[in-house]
Amino acid sequence: MMNTKVRDLLNQQINKELYSAYLYLDFSNYFEEQGLDGFANWYMIQAQEERDHAMLFYRFLQNNNEKVTLEAIAKPDKELSGPMAVLKAGLAHEEYVTSLINDIYAAAYEVKDFRTMQFLDWFVKEQGEEETNANDLISKMELFGSDPKSLYMLNSELGARVYSAPSLTL
């Protein structure tokens, strides 16, 4: 039987991942409205990844005979005041999600829940990649965003991104 605190944190993470998907869907919509369909594509794929992350937590709880508790998903509350502000909000959100994963890991470590820690190892690595990607996108926008031709090329690059489902097996 899983520790109550660990189980509750895992359940909360389902909600946080679904919120992340909702937030990135909002970002995608913003970029679509700005005529930046490549940026919109990039965040649409981010939204899909977050939904899949939620399902990984969902399935992990079920596979461990733990109750899944679904809560309401909050409306995104970020003020989308320009492309760079959106990108920086994305980075800040990924850093927040990293802190949540770290909190769950610490709780599992405290009670020697090695199964949950092993499950979370993938997410620890994934969050490192997510933060790197968000930082790289900000760097590229700082370098190229003010030049229309370079922005067009960056938008085209982001439009070429395709979705790849996580390879984590439970």
pLDDT in tens, 66-116: 999 999 999 998 789 999 999 999 999 999 999 999 999 999 999 999 999
**Within a domain: 164:** no
Q: What is the pTM of this model?
A: 0.93
Residues in Cβ contact with 143 at an 8 Å cutoff, skipping those fewer than 6 apart: 150
Intra-chain end-to-end CA distance of the chain, in Å: 17
75: in domain: yes
* Residue 117 covered by a domain: yes
CATH of the domain at 71: 1.20.1260.10
Give CA–CA dist 3/57, Å, rounded. Answer: 15
Domain membership flag for residue 165: no
* 168 in a structural domain: no
Domain boundaries, position 23 = 4-159
Is residue 95 in some structural domain? Answer: yes
pLDDT in tens, 110-132: 999 999 999 999 999 999 999 99
Domain count, the chain: 1
